[in-house]
Amino acid sequence: MKKNLYTQRQRILLDLLRETRKEAGLRQDDVAERLGRPQSFVSKYESGERRLDILELYDICKAMGLTLNDFVEKLQAILLKNKY
């Protein structure tokens, strides 16, 4: 897979995480508190400094009030729209 494509898809994921958090009316420290993690954890994954595994993504979605399935459906729709 080309790095350019990978980078673009990763950016879409990170943007969706941030937008979803904001739409839920949450700050980074709100999500961090719900996860029992420091605010820097949220900052690092939103900036791309830290990658997430599927179980962390599950917990993050739950902390933001949605299911992993709902989040993945949103992500998939965006990726398909952008032909990724």
Q: How close are the terminal C-alpha atoms of the chain, in Å? A: 11
- Residue 4 burial by Cβ neighbours in a 10 Å radius (0-12, 13-18, 19+): exposed
| CATH number for 11 | 1.10.260.40
Query: What are the tens digits of pLDDT across the range 34-64?
Result: 999 999 999 999 999 999 999 999 999 999 9
* Residue 58 lies in domain: 3-81
CA dist 68 and 16 (Å) reads: 13
pLDDT band at residue 6 using 50, 70 and 90 as cut-offs: low
Number of structural domains in the chain: 1
pTM: predicted TM-score of the whole model, two decimal places: 0.89
Roughly what angle, to the nearest 10 degrees, separates helices 54-63 and 68-81?
110
Percent of the chain beyond pLDDT 90? 89
